[in-house]
Structure 1
Amino acid sequence: DPLQLELATSSKRKLRRFVVIDEVVDELYGSKVREYFEENNVQHKILALPTTEETKSMDLVLNILQEVQNFSIDRRTEPIIAIGGGVCLDIVGLAASLYRRRTPYIRVPTTLLSVVDASVGAKNGVNFLQCKNKLGGYTPPVASFLDRSFIQSIPRRHISNGLGEILKMALMKHKGLFDLLKSHGKYLLDTKFQSYSGSTDHGDAALQTTRIAIETMLEELAPNLWEDDLDRLVDFGHLISPELEMRVLPSLMHGEAVNVDMAFMTYVAHVRGLITAEEKEQIIQCMRGLELPVWHGGCSWPLIKKALMERLKHSGGQPRMPLPTGLGVAEIFNDTSEETLERAYKLWVRD
């Protein structure tokens, strides 16, 4: 903000920023962040923390809040900045929502998953009693700054992980996005979602893919930001995966657990007659092409039943099961029988 910079440089008011950064991101980019603040004469505190599913707890939120209190930020004009993956953004969002009842914050996602998922919408939260995101709220950031150049420093598996959430939106809402992933998935993995001007075969597949994924996510979230309506297509892949992810931690990343859930639900849709055998195969082959797991030994029949019971508690007594009814189209179903689920499970395990 040029006006704020002018105020700072004229010494009328010293700009101050409190930053929480994931410790791995800090090793890669921390010196650049500090240099930026120093060059712009911004007083700053940078708190580097281990932000993983295992550390995603109220203890870490309280740790952040203690440091915020020590730094003493202005309630409205000095937003807290979160730089990191989805866990970091979730934790900082919750801390900001609690401090003085609501302190503005800014999201700077550094992984593909957080660019297309955690940076979009209003949710924040932490794990509690071995349950994923059991504590949290809805406090949107004042801004999200998306820079795909961060993605070039993350491992290939993390990019596949983000592609799981992109595929979710493709299957639920956008056949064109599904076709993009089928045609350019390996290229996106190889180039780590960077844009290259000389690629005539692929165009700017990275920009197109991220833009469509975010736009379709926003279309779903914006009219229902506080989840007053519990029928949500964005819950595809999130009926079984919360239970699975926490049970097998840390062997599955979030997008991988989501994909295992989506693979099973693809079989459910096929058994119900909602999609053809060819469509089912196209979906599973696309998942494999994106180097995502389509099955996991931890996803047992008892776990699925337990997860769906939890889903009933979470969703007002109805399963509200999003299922594909074609490629890029979907509906919510409340009438899937246990017999259908078990038949789908046996076919899935067999394949």
Structure 2
Amino acid sequence: MPANRITHPRAAHGADHGLFTLGEPVTAWTVSTALPVTYEVAFTPQVLSPANPALAQAGGHPGRRLVVVDSHVHELFGDRIHGYFEARGLEHRICVLPAHEQVKTMDSVFRVAEQMDRFGISRRGEPVIAMGGGVLMDVVGLACSLYRRSTPFVRVPTTLIGLVDAGVGAKTGVNFGPHKNRLGTYHPATATLLDPSFLATLDPRHLSNGLAEILKIALIKDRRLFDLLEQRGEALIEQRFQGPAAGGEVLVRAVHGMLQELQPNLWEHRLERSMDYGHSFSPTVEMRALPELLHGEAVCVDMALTTVLAQRRGLVEPGQRDRILALMRTLRLPLWHPLMEPETLGDALTDTIRHRDGRQRLPLPVGIGGGCFADDLTADELGDSADELRELACVTQ
């Protein structure tokens, strides 16, 4: 058939073919395709036990593995990580990487890519293993999404915030200039192995940091989870999720709630996302406060502000507001930060509107366990809510 006499694929192959032409002769094409995505998230106790094959088999057949490990995690578990792969007879190389917000940059991504190149991993059959907190997993995930345009990886979160938040979604990213996670991709890990025993090594502040993301899910969609945190939150911190204090149900509800929200909208085609609760003002506040605030702490300050805002709108009763703020204090989280002032909050809202394609799409709680979205927040309303929160935080403290 001459090149200028191409038959319309809809007529030749059916409407689901996915390649459509325009004109006779053809002058334009429309390509319609889809990328099927399947990934696994599973609680995997004792993941570093040589008797447990889960880590060796995750993401592919047992074989060579590049293991990228947070430097602090390596201090605690380096011998056990090496011993695991030795015991299972797997060739491996361990890359130790400092991982915190100030080094969450493309330089760290390039370091991982260089190690991937030196190790000579195959394109599909040798997934990189990322062991650490949210920063480490975001960096490794971005490197893997870029290396040969798509390299599989496996996540083993070792922090609470990694276990319930950064470890279960599809996003990767690094900071760029003053902006949090401004550079990134959607590249879910082939598998995420959740082992709560790592939490036994966390200090209380980092446990509270992760509890902020669990509280986010409780406030916006899961009243039962809020009740569990209210009843047992302090014990969970003291026991580091290792004791009998309902830790298992809290973790399962948090992970399930997150995945329920992510699965129908993994690529964020819809920009009204309940999981953005606590993430409207916190990215700007967190980056300007570095290194003073951890991620979850900044999220909590954001949630405290929007709880007060919701109460002023009649969406949350005063008694519910007080319960929410009291639980934040019980979980040893901050309610207030000096950067919660008009200039920073205004800049944060401007950036959020750009991020959400020209609209506020601001998640607000409705009571405890429900939510809605607002597009009409004014600077005066924001300032008045911040002033009220500052007074309430002083009383609460």
Is TM more than 0.5 here?
Answer: yes
Paired residues of 2:340 and 2:386 also in contact (CA < 8 A): no
SS at match of 1:54: helix
- Cα shift at 1:34: 0.3
Matched, 1:223 2:271: no
Letter in 2 for 1:255: G
Query: What is the Cα-based RMSD across aligned positions, in Å?
Result: 1.7
From the superposition, tell whether residues 157 and 4 of structure 1 become closer, same or farther in structure 2 (CA, over 3 Å). Answer: closer
Please show how residues 34-49 of structure 1 align to structure 2 within 5 Å: 34-49=82-97
- Whole-angstrom CA distance in 1 between matches of 2:383 and 2:56: 62
Instruction: State how far apart, in whole Å, the 2-side matches of 1:32 and 1:346 are.
Output: 50
* Runs of 5+ unmatched residues, structure 1: 7-12, 197-201
Q: What is the Cα deviation at residue 346 of structure 1? A: 1.6
**Structure 1 position 336, deviation (Å):** 2.2
* Corresponding residue of 2:113: 65
Indicate the residue corresponding to 1:179 in structure 2: 227
Moved more, 323-332 or 293-302: 293-302
Aligned partners of 1:216 and 1:15: how far apart in 2? 34
Structure-1 separation of matches of 2:322 and 2:129: 43
SS in 2 for 1:133: strand
The alpha carbon displacement at 1:14 in A equals 8.4
Paired residue type of 1:290: L
Counterpart in the other structure of 1:10: none
Aligned 1:1-351 pairs, distance under 5 A: 15-196=63-244, 202=245, 205-351=246-392
Q: Is the 8 A contact 1:272 1:340 kept in 2?
A: no
Aligned partner of 2:379: which letter? E
Q: Flag the 1:288–1:119 CA change in 2: closer, same or farther, 3 A.
A: same
The 8 Å contact of residues 341 and 383 in structure 2, kept in 1 or not, is answered as no
CA distance in 2 between partners of 1:210 and 1:106 (Å):
20
Q: SS of the residue aligned with 1:45?
A: strand
Shift of 1:63: 1.0
Q: Which amino acid aligns with 1:116?
A: V
Structure 1: how far apart are the matches of 2:65 and 2:211?
Answer: 32
- Does the 8 Å contact 2:56/2:62 carry over to 1? no
- Residues in 2 aligned to 1:156 and 1:58: alpha-carbon distance in whole angstroms: 30
Task: Quote how far apart the aligned CAs of 1:339 are.
Answer: 2.5
**CA apart distance, 1:302:** 1.1
Q: CA shift at 1:3, angstroms?
A: 12
Normalising by structure 2, we get a TM-score of 0.83
Counterpart-to-counterpart distance in 2, 1:4 and 1:328: 35
Gaps of 5+ in 2: 1-51, 393-397
Rg comparison, structure with higher value: 2
8 Å contact from structure 2 (residues 66, 129) kept in 1: yes
Kept after mapping to 2: 8 A contact 1:14/1:43: no
What SS class does the counterpart of residue 60 from structure 1 fall into? helix
- C-alpha deviation, 1:345, in angstroms: 1.5
Deviations 1:40-76 (A, max 9, x none): 1111110011011000010110111111101101111
Distance in structure 1 (CA, Å) of the matches to 2:98 and 2:131: 12
- 1:94 and 1:282 map into 2 onto residues whose CA distance is 39
Which digits, 9 at most, give the CA deviation of each residue in 1:94-126, with x for residues without a partner?
001011110000000000010000011100000
For residue 337 of structure 2, what is the amino acid of its counterpart? H
Partner SS, residue 137 of structure 1: coil
Q: CA deviation at 1:342?
A: 2.0
Change (3 A) 1:31 1:348: same
CA separation in 1, counterparts of 2:55 and 2:215? Answer: 40
Note if contact 1:166-1:213 (Cα within 8 Å) is conserved in structure 2. yes
Structure 2: how far apart are the matches of 1:191 and 1:75? 42
